[in-house]
Structures are given as structure tokens and as C-alpha cells.
Structure 1
Amino acid sequence: MRLADATWTDVRDADVDVALLPVGSTEQHGPHAPLGTDTLNAVAVAEAAAAAYDAEPRTGVADAVSRGEALVGPPIPVGVAEEHCAFDGTMWVTPDTFRSYVREAAASLPVHGVDRVVFVNGHGGNVEALAEVARRFSRDPAHDGYGVAFTWFGAVGEHASDMGHAGPLETALLRATTPDLVREDRVESARDGGVDRWGEWVSGVNLAHDSDEFTDNGVVGDPTAGDAERGLELLDRAGDALAELARAVADRKVADRDVDADR
């Protein structure tokens, strides 16, 4: 179920086990891919996972019951992306604002009985902040919620090493799910004007704070190596991994807690 498409009575009458909350970014993805790439890809993976979330009995339950369903929340489209500030159209918020907004948005769900959440992330710059969001959400004594963060491009097996930025993985997933948004006539020039590696590294430290310090067109990696067939494989892998995680989150028993949520 997509929350934005449902009515309030649909949600009231549904048997929801877990919410999948896509979190993306609005930032440059080279001359060939849309600013909304991270959001589009997070939504695609969340919807694939929801479709894969099956009705098999929950494990570890004395009287086995069928599963309910996974709810796909509306995407959060602006994230921690100031590293791309030199490129037109990029939007960002501070990590503090991002953490507060995402956590408070998720805290709306337990009020309606949806107390298990997976934050489905599509942007590398959100990773650290989302890990903290999930911890704070899970420790909040105001509700019984429990959540974890999932980043799709970390769950695609050997493909993960090709991530880059606007490179083969993101381009492949777009070609498989929203091909009309890929500027195919610019893909080769995007490759030619890009770089092979993110950052400028010395002694294990990245000297570059912003992406324009090492890539003129915003591309890291070879987008021509990401065709639609590869994109479908990425979608299957990430969707299946997220569905497996969602089942584990739905089944997890969470102990009562009494902690200060502002610590």
C-alpha cells in the first residue's frame, strides 16, 4: 500500500506490519540524470520490497499468523547534500534539521498503530544522519516504535563496489524504472567528463569537502556501464534484501524502555 494513495479509512482497516519510508535527496547527478535520482531510486526499491513482502507465517510466534502488509510512505526528497552545493538545482538541509524532521515524521506512524519503520535511503550523504534517526526513534519513550535504516546500494552484492555518483548503479536503476528521465544523448559525455573515484585521498583522509573539488560535471564512475538489464538485477537484489529486513523488523520483539529521548 502506498500511503499517499490511500484514504484514512484504508489505513484504518489495513493490517500493516511495517512502514517503508523512502528518504532521498534533490541534488546534481551529472548532466544525464535527474536531480531527484536518489529519491526516485529509494521509492523504486521500497515499492519492490513491499511487493515482495509475503504472507508467510511469522517465525517465532506460538500461534503462527499470516503476515500483514508493508506500507510505503511518501518520500522525503531533500537531505544532507551540501557537498553538491556548487551544482545548480541542488537543495539541502543541515544534518540537525534533517534528523529532527525525519524522526518526527516517522513518529506520526505509531499513533496509528504502525510502530515498525525502515528508512529506505538513496543518498550516501544521509547515511550517518539516518543511523542516528533510527536509534532515536527506537529509543523514544513516547511511543513503542522501532526502526532501522537501509541504504539500497549497500545491499546489491558485488555491484556495490561500482557505486560512484551518477555512475553505473544509479543510472542502471533509473534506466530500469524511469528511463524517460535519463538523458541518453548525454550519457557518453557524462562519462568522459567524470572521474573514477570520489574525493581526494591522502593517508586515508578525503581532503575534498565538496564534489566540485574533484569532478567538473558531478559524475563519479561510468554511467555507460549501467544498462536497464543491470538495473533490474539491482532492483531485485535490493528489493529482496529490503523485504527480508522488513520481515525481521516486523517480527522483532522490543523490550520496554524508559530513557530520555533528548539525551
Structure 2
Amino acid sequence: MNLAEATWTDVRELETNLAVVPVGSTEQHGPHAPLGTDVLNARAVADAGIERTDLEVVRAPAIPVGVAEEHRQFPGTMWVSPETFRSYVRESIESLAHHGFDRVVVVNGHGGNVDALREVGARLTRSERAFVVPFTWFEAVGEHSAEMGHGGPLETALLRQCHPDLVREDRIDEASEGAADGWGEWVSYANLAYDSAEFTENGVVGDPTEGTEQRGEALLELAAESLARLVEAVATRDVSRPERR
């Protein structure tokens, strides 16, 4: 059930404790991809994963702004502090748990959110207010994960599959020519760069020309199947906390 499209009386009749919360970011993704790429992709994976399970699942509205100050030099990028983000996500999930949806998978589409979401999941789970597991879609697509960049082949492919009208196809070559090969500037296993503008002129990392619609179809299938397995595991897990040793 899409929570945003349901009435409160619809929700009252549900007999599930499962919820999925898409989380993304509103940030630059190069000259060819929309600022909402991370939200759009997270929501697409969330919906596709839910469709692949027979369980009744509530799909919450997507959270559109995340931890993204690293893209602040590019116009249109929005961000909040990690502290604000953690609080907002945590309290949003607590409101779901108040209504009985206390087994939650957070479907994430932005790398900058990963650490904060893990902290939120741990805090809520240890307090026994809800059992929360973060799931980042581009970490769950097999060998493709090694090519994850920014506005690169994976994100572009999934957009072409799910939202082809939002990809500026006439700017793909420009995006590719100005892209960086990798994320950051590394010396002795340390990243010297804090902002993406330090190492990519146009905001892109990786070659978006390799992000075909066919690849997007494969990515969506892999991510959705992974999510469906996770939701089923969350539904049946014993979530009681271990006893003190």
C-alpha cells in the first residue's frame, strides 16, 4: 500500500507490521540527470521490490533531502546536517511504529546517507521501538556495484529504465567527457577531497554512456529481488535483543 495515496481508514484495516521507506537526496547528478535522481531511483526500487513479495507492505513517502553538502558548489543541491537527517528519519520511522509498522526497511539511493542510516537503524532496534534495516540499492546489484560512481553508468541506466523522459540525452556526451574516473583524491588510502567539485568539473563520476536502458532493466531486477528477500527476512526475524553475557 502506498501510504500517501491511502486514507486513514484504509490504513486502519491493514494487518501488517511491515513498512518500506525510500530515502534519497536532492543534489547534482551532472548535466544530464535530474537533481532528484537518488529519490527517483530509491522509490522505483522500493516499489519493484514490494511487487516481488506476497507480503502486505506499507510504502511510506520518500524522504527527498539527505546528507549531501559535498555537492554544495553545484546549484540546486540541497542538504541537511547528519544530525538533522538522523533525527528526521528516526522520528518518521517512530511515527510508523506508533501505528504498528515496526519492522522497517529503509531503501536508500544516496551514498552520503549510508552511515547515518546505519546509526538510525541501530538506535531504533536497540531501543526496541522498531526493527530497522537500511538497504542501499546500488550495493545489492552484484558485479555492477563495482562501477557505481555519481551520475555514472548505474544511476543513468536505472533512470533510463524507470524515468527515461528525465534523462537529457543531448547532454550525455558532455557528461561523459567531463566526468572523473573515480570518487575523490586518494593518497596513502586517505581521501584528500571533501567536496565533489574538487575532482569532477561537471559533477559526474563514471561514464554515463555505459548506462543503457537494458542495463537499467537488469539493475532494477537485481535490486528488487534483493529487496524482496530482505523484506521477507525482516518479516520473520526474531527481533528480541540478546541477553547480557
Shorter chain as denominator, the TM-score bin is over 0.9
- Structure 1 contact 168–224 (Cα < 8 Å) conserved: yes
Give CA deviations for 1:153-198 in whole Å, capped at 9, x if unaligned. 0000000011100000000000000000000000111000111111
SS of equivalent residue, structure 1 residue 118: strand
Q: What SS does the aligned partner of 2:183 have?
A: coil
After TM superposition, the runs of 4+ consecutive aligned structure 1 residues lying more than 2 A away are: none
Shift of residue 53, structure 1, vs aligned partner: 1.2
Q: CA deviation at 1:120?
A: 0.5
SS at match of 1:88: coil
- The alpha carbon displacement at 1:69 in A equals 0.8
Q: Residues 257 and 161 of structure 1: is their aligned pair in 2 closer, same or farther, counting only changes over 3 Å?
A: closer
Structure 2: how far apart are the matches of 1:84 and 1:7? Answer: 37
Task: With the length of structure 1 as denominator, give the TM-score of the two structures.
Answer: 0.90
Q: Which amino acid aligns with 2:72?
A: C
State the 1:235 CA deviation: 0.5
Q: Which residue of 2 aligns with 1:136?
A: 123
Cα deviation, residue 257, structure 1? 8.4
AA in 1 matched with 2:173 = E
In the alignment, residue 230 of structure 1 is paired with which amino acid? R
1:139, 1:257 within 8 Å by CA — same for their partners in 2?
A: no
Letter of the 2:195 counterpart: D
Deviation at 1:253, TM superposition (A): 1.3
Q: Is the 8 A contact 2:18 2:102 kept in 1?
A: yes
> SS at the partner of 1:21?
strand
- Equivalent of 2:149, from 129, 153, 164? 164
How far off its partner does 1:15 sit? 2.4
Instruction: Look up the match of 2:201.
Output: 216
Q: Distance in 1 between matches of 2:58 and 2:155?
A: 24
Instruction: Tell me the secondary structure at the aligned position of residue 57 of structure 2.
Output: strand
Q: Which residue of 2 aligns with 1:70?
A: 57
TM-fit CA distance, 1:252:
0.9
Instruction: State whether residues 3 and 59 of structure 2, in contact with CA within 8 Å, keep that contact through their aligned partners in structure 1.
Output: yes
Task: Report % sequence identity.
Answer: 63
- For this pair of structures, how many residues does the alignment match? 243
CA RMSD of superposed structures (Å): 1.2
Does residue 100 (structure 1) correspond to residue 100 (structure 2)? The answer is: no
Structure 1: how far apart are the matches of 2:191 and 2:242? 39
How far residue 12 of structure 1 moved from its aligned partner, in angstroms, is 1.1
Which amino acid in the other structure matches residue 165 of structure 2? D
Aligned match for 2:72, one of 85, 95, 112: 85
SS in 1 for 2:31: coil
Q: State the alpha-carbon separation in 2 of the partners of residues 41 and 133 from structure 1.
A: 21
Cα offset, 1:72, TM superposition: 1.0
Q: CA offsets per residue over residues 215-240 of structure 1, 9 Å max, x none?
A: 00000000010011110110010011
The residue number in structure 2 matching 1:183 is 168
- Which residue number corresponds to residue 49 of structure 1? 49
Partner Cα separation in structure 2 for residue 175 and residue 233 of structure 1: 12
Q: Secondary structure at the match of 1:16?
A: coil
The aligned counterpart of 2:230 is 245
